[in-house]
Structure 1
Amino acid sequence: MLAIESWPLFLFPLLPFLLYHNPLLAFSLKNCTIVYSENADNLWVTCKEHELAALPDDIPRNATSLDLSSNQIVNITGTDLRCLSKLISLQVQYNLISHIDDGAFADLVELRLLDMDANKLINLTDNMFQGLSKLVTLSLYNNQISCISPVAFQALVSIQYLALGSNHLHQIADIVPIFKLPNLNELLLGYNKLTSFQSDDLPFNVSNLKVLQLDFNPLRKFSIKKDIFPHLQSLAFCKCSCDIEWDVTNKTFLMSLTDLSFSGSSVSFEAYIAMLHTADSLQKLSLFFLKEWIDEGLINIACRIPSLKTLYVTVSRLGTIDDNLLRSCSQLTELTLSGNSLSELSEHSLRSMTQLRFLYLDTNQLSKLPLAVRGLSTLEVLDLMSNFISELDCLDFVNLTRLTKLDLKHNHISKLQGCLFQNLNNLKVLNIGENPVFTLDNTFKVNLRNLEYLNLQNNGHLVFMQGDFRNLSSLCVLDLESNTYYQLYDGAFEGLDNLQTLSVSLGNYKKEHFRGLPHLENLTLHLTFNWNQNSSQKNYEPPFSNLPNLKKLVLKVYDKYQEDISPDLLKGLKFLEYFMAEKFFMKSLHPDTFKYTPRLKGLQITHSDLSDLSPELFWPIPNLKALDLSNNKFRSLDFLARANLPALSWLKLSDNLLSVINVTVLQSLTALTYLDLIDNPLTCECSNSGFNQWVQSNSQTQVVNGHQYPCAFPTQIHQIEDNQLLFGRLPAETQHVGGDLRYRAVSHLSKTLKKLYYLMFRQISDNRN
């Protein structure tokens, strides 16, 4: 690199523009972003997916969460994480880390979570985890770990969860110290090369372990001959060796085991039976990919365990359920048959289940509600999502009077009969989204007085008449969002006295649509038409004036563009705190738009082609904290200088046409802590030198990716004599505002200076490469 001493004397006046500030003093991080949070005690920093080869050197020392995942980091040195004593969470998964210096985490005395999944670690050394006395969760899944020091985990006295799955561990003897950790509850050892798990190889008296996963290991023997796991509650065996020997000499050694899962017909039927015979306290059993052994009667044997209450049978290609498969499962309270390609359940297949409360039949191929379900009078939750059900009968749910949740999402239902839910007096959650329903037929006018959540998202061209929801007096959330639109008649929402959240796609808007919603707080309108609410019209009334308690209003326009918006749009919304509009204001906003909303805290106006706003627009909302004006056409921020926004702390202006940033404007926003100017054509001229200095030196406002902003050159392209080189062809790595702008003032120098400057910069670049 060209030494400063050899620079021409006439370059010294440019030094303030050419030199970096100390990166440790810069609040705008070079490769990371501080995630905005209103809680000052939480400082979340993300450096995810930045192609970093090493840890950044400018992480704020008061960071509480750091995400370095999905980069190309190879090592963690002893100094990389120094002084980050407040860090609680550290994520470095999906990197190339093969080495970590001993003591690299020593300063992380408050760390609770460390995720190092998907790296290249081979060895865990003596002092790798030194200092992590408060660590609770450690995940090392999908590395290449084959060697673990006997004292590697000695410092982890608070560890409760440890994941070592998908590594190269060969024998349990190598990880004996792990079982001695006093607070360890969960140990995941799946996808390793363990061939046996025997208590004879574990030289200790007792472990506090509660969850042990050994799935996808080539286990040939599982042997427990002493009571070393008195607290073990959950055990997983999946895809183990077909000749596994199960040797538990005394049932009391697994007396606390309540959750057991296994999968794959590669394990012998006899081995599974042996497992079940030593699990007298079993409450939950999960079976995956086990069609062959299910056909042999595995479920029948499992259900003979009196304590069994929950049975998961998934991805086992059952196709149909006959009268005998579940006959012995009368004590079950929860049954999951998801993802089994089920097309039919015989009429009496569930007859014995007189205590069943939860039934999950989602992601199958059912074309109608099985008759077997009709008789389950104890059922509280029924999930039929993602099937092929096209018709529902009035008798389908007539006996399911205890249902509190019914999920019919993503089926082929086209019609809801008025009698369909008439007996579901206790129903609280009903999801009928993603269906081609086109008619309701008084469906919601009877006996759903306890319904709190209703989803009719993305159905057909539904029409809602006056009183259609009148009897849903307990409804709190109603989702009527659609890719097309729904047609509303006046008073369609009458009776929804307790509705708090409404999302609806409309083909037109009338104030009368929203009568009878005194407690509505959140309203999202997806508009597919031109907004024609204009105060110049005869008999005009503000469109939301009958929603006095509204706190959040979202207006999204599909395809159409709105033009003339009345300044009284928000009249009557004195409690409004958040307003979001997308493609709604296509010219500008009247200065009086927000004079009715003094409590506004969050404002988002995006994709609206706005190029300027009046400062007076913001005067009535001095409490504004967050402002998003991204995806517009602003060329200047001068309107913010006189906007009087003393509380504004979050400002997003990405995807605009800003070329020069007036620092005076930013300095007028005294509470600003977060600024996003990504994807603006910032120029590389002296006019931005003040902004560049401010980005690097201010100690309050984080400029997101400020060190990586690409900059657009002046419109006039300068040629350099002799070589006829275009100034715009400088190396790409130099084309950043807020980064290394040593050529920033070039356009104001003489041709000779330009040439010298370029030659200097070329030498700098060559030496770097």
Structure 2
Amino acid sequence: MIIHMFFLSYLLYSWILADLAYGYYLKNCKIRGNLNDSFDIKVLCGKRNLEVIPTDIPQNVSILDLAINNVSKIGMMDFQGLSKLRIVNISWNQISEVNNGALGHLKALQELNLAHNRLTTLSEHLFQGLANLSLLRLDDNLITTIGSSSFQHLFNLKTVNLTNNKLCSIKEIQNIVQLPHLQELYAGSNRFTSFQSQELSNMSLGLRLLYLSQNPLEIFRITADVLPYLEMLDLAYCGKLESWDVDRSFLRNVKFLNLSGIQMSFEKMSMVLQTVNSSLVYLRLYKIKKEKVKGLIDVACHIPTLRLLRVRLNNLSVLSEDFLQSCKQLTDVDMNENNVFHLTEFSLRSMVHLSVLKLGHNHLSSVPNATRNLPSLTLLDLSFNFIKKLECLDFANLTGLTHLFLSRNQISNIGKCVFQDLKELRVLKLGSNKILNLNDAFMNVLPQLETLVLVFCKLSCLRTGDFKSLQSLKTLHLYDNQIDNMENGTFEGLGNLTELILSSNKISQDYINHNVFRGLTHLRTLDLSSNFITYTTDGYLNSPPFSDLTSLENLYIHSQRHKGMCHLPGIIHTPKLWFLDISKNEFTALMPKLFHPIPRLNRLYLSKTHLQSLDFIIGAQLNRVTYLQVSKNEITVVNETELRSLPSLTYLDMQFSTFTCGCSIAWLIQWMGSDNQTQVVAANMFTCKYPGEFKVTKLLDLDLQFCSVPLGLYYCISTTTLVLLTMLASFTYHFLKWQVVYGYYLFLAFLYENKRKQRKPLTNGCEYDAFISYNVHDEPWVLRELLPELEGHQGWRLCLHHRDFQPGKPILDNIVDGIYGSRKTICVMSRRYLESEWCSREIQVASFRLFDEQKDVLILVFLEEIPDRQLSPYHRMRKLVKKRTYLSWPRAGEHTGVFWQQLRLALETKDVPARDNPILTGVRQERD
């Protein structure tokens, strides 16, 4: 009892006096940013099934996202104290009521999003107090009524979106359009049947954008100069619009006009185009009847200022020579989604200034001859067609082309002459084709290419020199292919490459070495996720694959398929590494030296990697890590030393961890709510898994008062206890040292044996000859030396935790069953072994059995010399019972035959009392 009190007092003393790193959490939200920086802090509460606005939102938050929840009402006090909010998003909820004055607390608010709710009425004082509001979204509600003074206080409002409501008259928004700084009004998909200047009191408005699309307009009449600054007018899908009465001088500044889907006659549409004859630059004509579209294009192309023409979804099929004959001044033509399968050879020849041509989403079976010999062309989009083959002359004389899009075709082969004229090409997209190999397609061509996309193709092998000529290349995307072979020097010559994406292929560790990445000294982003890289041993450290990538900043190696990656490839030669994602692998344990030195590492993702602890953080020098994700692991305890090793941590995700709940977790609970530095995500959802009586209990619901005492009483107890125990320990150590230790373990063995007998006993005696207890760092010796000899040559049945433990069963139960189900226990001793929590538990259980049964069941094998002072009492138990009981692995160069013979003799001993067993007499004696 005294020992227990001393231990508890010592823990509390350390807890109180330590310089803790503090944390915090929100019950239903996440935080992005630093709580001490009010201008930058974001609170994200989206997709949480919330029915009310959370009450624990920090008062200095500047951005709040509550989208996609079930909030139905905004109450008077919901935003109280949040006076620093600049942006609020409450879209996609069920809000049908907002109390008057509920938004008045938001004095600094600039953007408010109430879209996709159920508001029907905007009351008179709804927006009172929002004098700084500049953007207001009310689209996709059920608004039928707007109070006459609802908007009168919004002096700085610039953009209002009322799309898809149930407003019937322009008069209802009269007070909105007259706001002094309003520039953009979105009022589409309502029930307006007319738009007339007299409905706006004939006042001059400052509107620059007017969006009236999908209203049942019948009349559009402007008889006064109410829109002198209007630049963008959208009347798409407004029905027949039978009456158009507008003096051309009243729309003199309109540059953008959308007449898509409108059902006016050709004559009236021509009249509309004539109204903007002096200023129109951009015209959109989607879904116009085929018989009208050519005539409208001809009318539009006679507008001298027109430069951009969009004619999608018109089912044009064939583009003849006279189709765009009058469009000589156009620079940008978009004919996507028209079912075009043929262009006559000279159909584009008149457009001598054409710079952008989009022919995507059509039915072209080859690159049309019409696109050749257009030296002014800079962008050509032929994606989403049925092109099967590229010919040498397909891009002839396109000397000014900088962007070429050929994605989503059926191209299977690229000849080396195809791109020979594209001297200025910067971006080439060939994704989603059937390209099997590159066949020198990029040899001595494309000297200016900066971005190459070859995703979702059929590439299986990358050869040396495939990209060697692309010396200007900066971005190379090769994800979602079937690459399983990369020759050394594959990326040679790409000295300017900054981004290489190789995810979702079939690449194994055999092809990931420094020779493959040789010369990529400027590479900043490398993605190798979702491949077949395993690294089952640590041999990769002798030849680290990233040793040439001295500029690497972002590395993705997560989600390796098959069995997952077991060891992390060396990254110590990447001093600029900032982002590392190695989630969804099979690490179990990591070594600190893998992360040293990486002084700039800021974000570390380790979720779902089967980690059992965070002890690798200690000594890893991760001083700049601000974001750590270790969710969905097997971590049972997180101690203070580990988190203090991350002094810059601001975001910690430990969701779905398997916590062991007791006094050892008390400091973590206090830490999670103590300060403003580290956000612990979803801390209120943490649950206990061990011990059984606390299973499924919320961590924050634990009553841990028994773990603490009043400070004054604590000092008294701890001081008195310390003095008494010092005297008692000195006396005991001098006179009764080994007797006390022996009695202690005999008592524990008695308790442990009683617990074990309550389980179902083995029916056929021992299942194994020996249980092997070892540290994961000594696994190579066990697998390469011990296992082949004992199982392969000597024929013993061994129990190894990585192979024979039952999945799903608690680890401690597996250990007990393994030790008591084996005749012997072999402990593979090393310094790493002594530092391991689980190894310590294994030797405890074996020692308990030794004391209980008084049989020679424990064999110690030392892999290295260990000073006696480093051996804890648990590791001295065998020495105490019998002073001739351990074996040492021979030093380098010594013969191992005697060692294996002695180990065989030790395993052959029968279950007789240890003191009567002479078989180990010749085994190495007392170390003193």
Alignment pair present for 1:576 and 2:576: yes
1:520 corresponds to: 523
Q: Distance in 2 between matches of 1:572 and 1:741?
A: 45
Q: 1:547 aligns with which of 543, 549, 552?
A: 549
Letter in 1 for 2:685: Q
Residue 255 of structure 2 aligns with an amino acid whose one-letter code is: T
Counterpart in the other structure of 2:162: 164
Number of residue pairs aligned between Structure 1 and Structure 2: 679
SS in 1 for 2:515: helix
Counterpart residue number, 1:736: 698
**How far is the alpha carbon of 1:662 from its aligned partner?**
4.0
**1:54-89 Cα distance to aligned partner (Å, 9 max, x none):** 111111111111000111111112221122222121
Distance in 1, matches of 2:546 and 2:595, equals 20
* 1:678-717 mapped onto 2 (5 Å cutoff): 678-682=655-659, 688-709=665-686, 711-712=687-688, 714=690, 716=692
Taking the TM superposition and a 5 Å limit, the aligned residue runs for 1:567-646 are 569-570=570-571, 572-573=573-574, 575-578=575-578, 602-614=579-591, 620-621=597-598, 624-640=601-617, 645-646=622-623
Aligned pair partner of 2:358 in 357, 360, 366: 360
Q: 1:109 to 1:563 in 2, by over 3 A?
A: closer
1:271 aligns with 2:268: yes
* Map of 1:458 onto structure 2: 456
Aligned to 2:345: 347
Contact 1:196/1:221 (8 A) holds in 2: yes
> Distance between the aligned counterparts of 1:744 and 1:649, measured in 2?
32
CA contact (8 A) 1:312 1:335 kept: yes
Are the aligned partners of 2:603 and 2:625 in contact in 1 as well (CA < 8 Å)?
Answer: yes
Greater shift in the superposed pair: 628-637 or 32-41: 32-41
Structure 2 residue corresponding to 1:237, chosen from 213, 235, 238 = 235
CA contact (8 A) 2:447 2:471 kept: yes
Contact 2:527 2:556 (C-alpha < 8 Å) held by counterparts: yes
Percentage of matched positions with identical amino acids: 37
Within 1, Cα distance between the matches of 2:536 and 2:30?
41
Secondary structure at the counterpart of residue 446 of structure 2: coil
Q: For 1:553 and 1:637, locate their aligned partners in 2 and report how far apart those are by CA, in whole Å.
A: 21
Distance in 1 between the 2:115 and 2:132 partners?
A: 20
Contact 1:481–1:526, Cα closer than 8 Å, also in 2: no
Who is 1:20 aligned against?
none
Question: What are the superposed Cα offsets for residues 264-313 of structure 1, whole Å, 9 maximum, x if unpaired?
Answer: 25333333222112111211111122134535622222222221111111
Contact residue 484 and residue 528 of structure 1 kept, 8 A? no
- Determine the C-alpha separation between the residues in 2 that align with 1:743 and 1:491: 60
Query: Quick one: distance in 1 between partners of 2:639 and 2:300?
Result: 73
* Cα-Cα RMSD: 3.1
Assess if the C-alpha contact under 8 Å between 1:243 and 1:268 holds in 2. no
CA distance in 2, matches of 1:112, 1:302: 40
Conservation of the 8 A alpha-carbon contact between 1:534 and 1:566: no
Cα distance in structure 2, aligned partners of 1:696 and 1:409: 51
Specify the code of the residue in structure 2 equivalent to 1:328: S
Counterparts of 2:566 and 2:53 in 1: how far apart (Å)?
51
SS at match of 1:454: strand
Task: Write the distance in 1 (CA, Å) between the matches of 2:231 and 2:444.
Answer: 45
Aligned equivalents of 2:407, 2:682: Cα separation in 1: 41
2:381 is equivalent to residue 383 of structure 1: yes
- Deviations along 1:660-698, whole A, 9 cap, x unmatched? 544664466443322212122346666645444443444
From the superposition, tell whether residues 675 and 548 of structure 1 become closer, same or farther in structure 2 (CA, over 3 Å): closer
1:530/1:561 contact within 8 Å kept? no
2:149 maps to which residue?
A: 151
Distance between the aligned counterparts of 2:403 and 2:598, measured in 1?
42
Q: Which residue among 482, 485, 488 is the counterpart of 2:486?
A: 488
How has the CA–CA distance of structure 1 residues 622 and 418 changed in structure 2, closer, same or farther, with 3 Å as cutoff? closer
Query: What pairs up with 1:413-432 in 2 under 5 angstroms?
Result: 413-432=411-430
Query: How many Å separate the matches in 2 of 1:713 and 1:525?
Result: 35
Q: Which residue of 2 aligns with 1:187?
A: 185
Which of the pair is proportionally richer in helix? 2
Structure 2 counterpart SS, 1:512? coil
State the shift of 1:452 in Å.
1.1
8 Å Cα contact 2:378/2:402 also seen in 1: yes
| 1:414, distance to aligned residue in structure 2 (A) | 0.7
Of 103, 113, 116, the residue aligned with 1:115 is 113
2:431 maps to 433
Q: Which residue in 1 is equivalent to 2:626?
A: 649
Is the contact made by 2:558 and 2:584 (CA closer than 8 Å) also made in structure 1?
no
Q: Return the TM-score normalized by structure 2.
A: 0.68
AA matched with 1:554: Y
Instruction: Give 1:10-25 correspondences, 5 Å limit.
Output: none
- Equivalent pair of 1:193/1:217 in contact (CA under 8 Å): yes
The 8 Å contact of residues 433 and 455 in structure 1, kept in 2 or not, is answered as yes
For 2:471 and 2:36, locate their aligned partners in 1 and report how far apart those are by CA, in whole Å. Answer: 36
Check conservation: 2:460, 2:482, Cα contact below 8 A: no
Residue 491 of structure 1 and its aligned partner are, at CA, apart by: 3.0
Instruction: Indicate conservation of the 8 Å contact 1:64/1:87, yes or no.
Output: yes
Counterpart selection for 2:248 from 241, 248, 251: 251
- Residues 492, 514 of structure 1: 8 Å contact kept: yes
Q: Which residue of 2 aligns with 1:599?
A: none
Q: Which runs of 5+ in 1 are unaligned?
A: 1-24, 579-601, 718-726, 729-733, 746-769
1:12-46 per-position Cα deviation (integer Å, ceiling 9, x unaligned): xxxxxxxxxxxxx9931111111257994411111
Contact 2:294–2:323 (CA<8 Å) still a contact in 1? no
Equivalent position to 1:287, from 285, 308, 324: 285
Distance 1:315 1:49, change over 3 A: same
Matched, 1:411 2:412: no
In structure 2, the residue matched to 1:589 is: none
Q: Deviations over 1:704-739 (max 9, x none)?
A: 122233x2555646xxxxxxxxx98xxxxx95333x
Q: Distance in 2 between matches of 1:39 and 1:397?
A: 57
2:651 is the counterpart of 1:674: yes
Higher mean C-alpha deviation, range 361-370 or range 189-198: 361-370
TM norm structure 1: 0.82
What is the aligned partner in structure 2 of residue 18 from structure 1? none
Q: Which residue in 2 is equivalent to 1:324?
A: 322
Structure 2, unmatched stretches of 5+, are: 1-21, 707-928
Q: After alignment, is 86-95 or 434-443 more displaced?
A: 434-443
Contact 1:111 1:135 (C-alpha < 8 Å) held by counterparts: yes
Deviations, residues 468-515 of structure 1 (Å, cap 9, x unaligned): 333322211122223321643333333223222222354623433333
The answer (yes or no) to whether the contact 1:93–1:116 under 8 Å persists in 2 is yes
Instruction: Give, as a single letter, the amino acid of the residue that structure 1 aligns with 2:571.
Output: L
The correspondence of residues 96-115 of structure 1 with structure 2, limited to 5 A, is 96-115=94-113
| Cα shift at 1:364 | 1.9
Aligned equivalents of 1:399, 1:207: Cα separation in 2: 50
State the 1:430 CA deviation.
0.8
Contact 1:358/1:379 (<8 A) preserved:
yes
Letter in 2 for 1:577: L
Q: 1:390 to 1:51 in 2, by over 3 A?
A: same
- 2:812 corresponds in structure 1 to none
Code of the aligned partner of 2:547: S
**Paired residue for 1:314?**
312
Local SS of the residue matching 2:109? coil
Partner of residue 127 from structure 2, selected from 129, 150, 170: 129
